[in-house]
């Protein structure tokens, strides 16, 4: 055995003691065949995700609060790293594949727009009006990794990684998550369905327990931290969190994370599913409702939202006009279209190209473009 073979064997050693229900590297699938190196497929996916330039843009993308003059307020980068850590804690405790978990966690929000969920709502409305389809960041994340990254070639991530990213959306909270077996064809059908109407796949589950863990960890990663951020900037006080929630989960991010993680581990140990206890599930559901009413619905003032939405519409129309008139000095050419291959250029409508460009923007870049509109 030479040093390369021995190195690969060392990568595989950690999988020998994985749970019966864990996703093994030997079953990883890619849409385009390629020769693997010493890295196992899911570990390789992690590298592809973090070395892609899009990963750096997490640094200046809103988590909840936009244009907040406080350096401690969460950004999208903070969130994905927290999700990764939480998910790997659960995964290691349940003997699941941590490499797959990390790949899904670090890539899950790459399709998020500037201005967080508010920006996503604005772009979704534009997509419905202009293209007759919906926009959702989980679908756009998969679209980016399959059809936009690497000059339109995509990163050729594993099927299981892409599926976990597509199915990570935690808007619909369930008490139990059972993995759904899927072929490549079935995954592609779900992806195409999501491109047309993202609402249709919210009740679908990932194909691996690792994907299920990331889906729950996405909620765990933001629910308590968003409370800390909101309290930090004076949205409400800790005492205003309902007593019924505090008695079960705690009233701070540390206790909330710890309580939910331990509950999931207890309820899921040795099981072919991931689940909460009824008590924790009900408290978490109530906390999501509290956060929606006290944080997410008030993350921007009506004036701010309307101003940004008008700006996004103008920017959308400006880029449409730039492409129609082939203004090659426009930023949509110099920073985006000029970097894409002919397959991307030929297979996508003008509107779709503009949506992809706007979705990839950071907050600072987006706000600068609005300010510079003619």
Nearest CA-CA partner of 210 in 52, 54, 42, 33: 42
Of the residues 241, 276, 298, which one is the last residue of a structural domain? 298
Is 313 in contact with 271 (CB distance < 8 Å)?
A: no
**Residue 157 pLDDT grade (very low, low, confident, very high; cuts 50, 70, 90):** very high
Q: Residue 158 forms beta bridges with which residues? A: 30
Q: What is the DSSP string of 295-314?
A: TGGGSS-HHHHHHHHHHHHH
Do the domain assignments include residue 346? yes
One domain, residues 222 and 313: no
- pLDDT at residue number 1: 72
The shares of helix, strand and coil residues in the chain, as percent rounded to the nearest 5, are 65, 5, 35
What predicted TM-score, i.e. pTM, was given to this entire model?
0.96
Of the residues 273, 298, 323, which one is the last residue of a structural domain? 298
One domain, residues 233 and 109: yes
Q: Which residues of 154-185 are buried (b: 16+ CB within 10 A; e: fewer)?
A: bbbbbbbbbbbbbbbbbeeebeebebbebeee
- Helix orientation angle between 350-359 and 116-131, rounded to the nearest 10 degrees: 180
One domain, residues 216 and 335: no
**Domain of 89: which CATH number?**
1.10.3210.10
Q: For the segment 231-287, what is each residue's pLDDT rounded down to a tens digit? A: 887 888 899 999 999 999 999 999 999 999 999 999 999 999 999 999 999 999 999
Do the domain assignments include residue 19? no
One domain, residues 113 and 76: yes
Q: How many angstroms separate the CA atoms of 77 and 358, rounded?
A: 18
Report DSSP state, residue 59: G
Instruction: Give the count of domains, the chain.
Output: 2
Q: Residue 347 forms beta bridges with which residues? A: none
Cα angle 75-118-161, degrees, rounded to a multiple of 5: 60
């Amino acid at each position: 055995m030479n040093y390369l073979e021995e190195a690969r064997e060392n990568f595989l050693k950690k999988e020998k003691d994985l749970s019966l229900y864990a996703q093994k590297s030997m079953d990883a699938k890619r849409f385009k065949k390629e020769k693997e190196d010493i890295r196992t497929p899911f570990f390789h996916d992690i590298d592809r995700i973090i070395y892609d330039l899009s990963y750096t843009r997490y640094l200046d993308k809103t988590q909840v609060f936009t244009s907040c003059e406080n350096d401690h307020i969460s950004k999208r980068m903070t969130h994905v790293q927290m999700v990764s850590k939480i998910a790997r804690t659960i995964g290691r405790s349940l003997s699941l594949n941590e490499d797959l978990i990390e790949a899904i966690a670090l890539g899950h929000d790459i399709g998020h727009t500037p201005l967080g969920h508010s920006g996503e709502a604005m772009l979704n409305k534009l997509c419905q009006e202009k293209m007759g389809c919906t926009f959702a960041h989980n679908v756009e994340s998969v679209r980016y990794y399959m059809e936009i990254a690497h000059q339109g070639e995509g990163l050729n991530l594993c099927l299981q990684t892409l599926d976990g990213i597509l199915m990570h959306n935690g808007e619909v909270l369930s008490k139990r998550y059972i993995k759904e077996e899927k072929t490549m064809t079935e995954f592609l059908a779900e992806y195409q369905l999501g491109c047309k109407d993202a609402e249709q796949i919210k009740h679908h589950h990932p194909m691996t327990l690792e994907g299920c863990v990331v889906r729950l960890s996405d909620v765990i990663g933001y629910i308590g931290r968003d409370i800390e951020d909101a309290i930090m900037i004076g949205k409400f006080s800790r005492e205003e969190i309902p007593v019924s929630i505090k008695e079960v989960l705690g009233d701070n991010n540390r206790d909330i994370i710890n309580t939910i993680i331990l509950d999931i581990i207890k309820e899921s140990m040795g099981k072919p599913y991931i689940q909460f206890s009824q008590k924790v599930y009900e408290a978490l559901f109530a906390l999501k409702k509290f956060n929606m009413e006290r944080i997410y619905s008030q993350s921007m003032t009506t004036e701010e939202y309307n101003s940004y939405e008008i700006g996004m519409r103008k920017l959308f129309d400006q880029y449409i006009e730039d492409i129609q008139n082939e203004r090659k000095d426009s930023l949509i050419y110099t920073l985006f279209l000029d970097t894409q291959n002919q397959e991307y250029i030929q297979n996508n409508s003008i509107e779709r190209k503009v949506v992809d460009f706007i979705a990839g923007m950071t907050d600072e870049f987006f706000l600068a473009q609005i300010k510079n509109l003619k």
